[in-house]
Amino acid sequence: MDSLPSNQAVKRMIDQLVKRLEEANYAYHVLDQPILLDYEYDQLFHELKALEINNPELIASNSPTQRVGAKPLSTFQTMPHEMQMLSLDNAFTLQDILAFDRRIKSRLMHAKFTYICEPKLDGVAVNLLYESGQLIQGLTRGDGYYGESVTDNIRTIASIPLRLRGSDWPERLEVRGEIYIPKEKFKVMNADFVLVGKKPFANPRNAAAGSLRQLDSRITAERSLQMCCYSVGMMTGDPLKTQEQMLEKLNEWGFRVNPLIKTVKTIEACEVYYDAILERREALPYEIDGVVLKVNEFIHQKTLGVLVRAPRWAIARKFPAQEATTCLKVVEFQVGRTGTITPVGRITPISLGGVMISNVNLHNMQEIQRLGLCINDTVIVRRAGDVIPQIVGIASNSESTNRLPILMPIHCPSCQQKLIKTPGLVAIKCLAGLNCLAQKREAIKHFVSRKAMNIKGLGEQLIQKLLDQQLIQSAADLYLLTVDDWMKCDRMATRSIDNILKSLALSKQTTWKQFIYALGIHEVGESTAQILAHHFLNLNQLMVASQTELQQLPSIGETMADNISTFFKDPNNQAMIISLQNSGVTWPTNEIKMQHNAVLSGQNWVLTGKLSQMTQEQASDYLIALGAHVNPVISKKTNRLLIGDHPGSKLQKAKKLEIDIWSEVQFIELLKQYELL
């Protein structure tokens, strides 16, 4: 009888199989040059899986069998990038590109440099962190400083190496790239969705974004995602000299790099490249929305530096906005939260850039008159920047004999109140306030939104049903609804009702700033809500504040002060606030009052790292109370950097700029000195 192989022998067999499968993945997904037939790959994969099942202690994290298998997440964790992920400024014309070139040359004092040109994939940017050659983290771009951890989903993408190839890679490396779905894979996926009654995605970019943010990585694994890398972030070891060299290295280490990337010597050659890629756009197997131009040499990139969120050494040359003609069928007038009337055009649906468009924002009557629009006109619709649909004119071949004028209604389309036009302003408004059903609906939508009370599960249609059945008259009534009340709404299952009730209960514990913002006071956005929350210690102080006192606060002028004062004098608003408080809506007592003649007045502070005795948001509140401005990025204008644990790249930049660095201990001493702690 044959003896069983030893543990070491099994490990060698597993290592050999992992290596062969990695080589096959690289050849197929990166080089597009398969070295194994599908059945050969499957046979090796199943052989590896069988060995790992019998020897679970020998399973490596980089094994191809470990790309899928993690338990579904309940939420995504937000994590910091090692180095900020920058955005790109856009150029739409040749003149924009020539101006970009002039700026480069003037800053480099006519030093020799080259440009590297890349197709701009229309997908989702991600940041991958490798340590000792192993993939340990994958983040979305987020705000450039923090992103959502989608590591389990990243691991399912075959064109992303779980372990870097070769041996000359850095000890720690951030790789940036674009996640996308090829056009053909997108068509097949949408066709499958339609067959099973699911709503198809509007375009490949939305499909890629939705697939990457699945809480269950097994779903992501089914979505045919791919990645092309385009840059690095943090990288230890000896630096490379050019973007071109860096991309070659990334390809050697196992990443897909776009084969259409080209290095050129002049800005004129960049424009030739742009024209060539634009001509090939429709034939490419993936969606692109322009090309990216970068100064190739890293030494010059460093000299040029960055603005707040965008590098000076790179720019996105966007393709012309896509246009199509269609018929303007109807113009409807919508009522906003503050009573402003906005015309919306309903058009014969058309597809632009993979998105079906049936509505266009006409802004106001002045814009309609400028364009000379009538109902039944054949109009030109453009997606400006491939995002916002708008009518830019009437088609030259528009020959409708049934052109009907577009007339602004005299009365509110929701409550029939007579509309008012304020002299000197374009906007036409309904002044009925919460007596107008449409304004009431929009006010409740604002109240439940994420940055306000963050009540999940309450969309526009459900709010409308509650209003139609007179189950609520204001946002405060949401907290008074019973299970029986919710059951009166069509298609409300027990589970949905339970989730909404839980979300309502959670929302009762809010913050003072969020509560002010949630009230929906005209022109009071997040920043003004924060200013009010810092100045007024409680609700009573704010409600009785005079317009004179309000105007003494930063960024609050006469009109806004009048809006705030008028809001709190309204009996309906007073009743709503009392009802909210009676329902248990509360927030921590604000003990941080903005100090007049504050010691930090005019100073710019930046925070980084995890603080041990408070959150960054609490630290920001204290700084604002002392008169400081809190900024997200380090610059020459920064006065001080407050650091906690794991401060990241901001600390190095602050040292380089010789910015004053404060520890949490120093900061707490300052707060104690001014009796804020």
Q: Residue 236: how many CB atoms within 10 A of its CB?
A: 11
Q: In which element (H, E) is residue 445 found?
A: helix 437-448
Alpha-carbon distance of 128 to 169, in angstroms, equals: 14
Q: Are 134 and 162 in contact (CB under 8 A)?
A: yes
Distance CA 368, CA 348 (A): 18
Which residues does residue 586 pair with via DSSP β-bridges, in sequence order? 509
User: What's the one-letter identity of residue 148?
Assistant: E
- The sign of the dihedral angle between the CA atoms of 515, 521, 525, 528 is negative
Catalytic residue among 120, 429, 440, 445: 120
Pairing of strands 134-140, 378-384: unpaired
The structure tokens listed for 620 are 């920001």
Amino acid identity at 258: N
608, containing H or E segment = strand 604-608
- Give the C-alpha distances (Å, rounded to integers) separating 182 from 141, 189, 204, 208, 453: 21, 11, 7, 10, 39
Torsion of CA 184, 190, 191, 197, to 10 degrees: 170
DSSP per residue, 85-116: -----EE-SHHHHHHHHHHHHHHHTT----EE
> Dihedral sign, CA of 496, 499, 504, 507?
negative
Structure tokens at 59: 């399973």
Is 120 a catalytic site residue? yes
Beta bridge partners of 326: 379
Residue whose tokens read 């790179």: 314
- The residues that are catalytic are 120
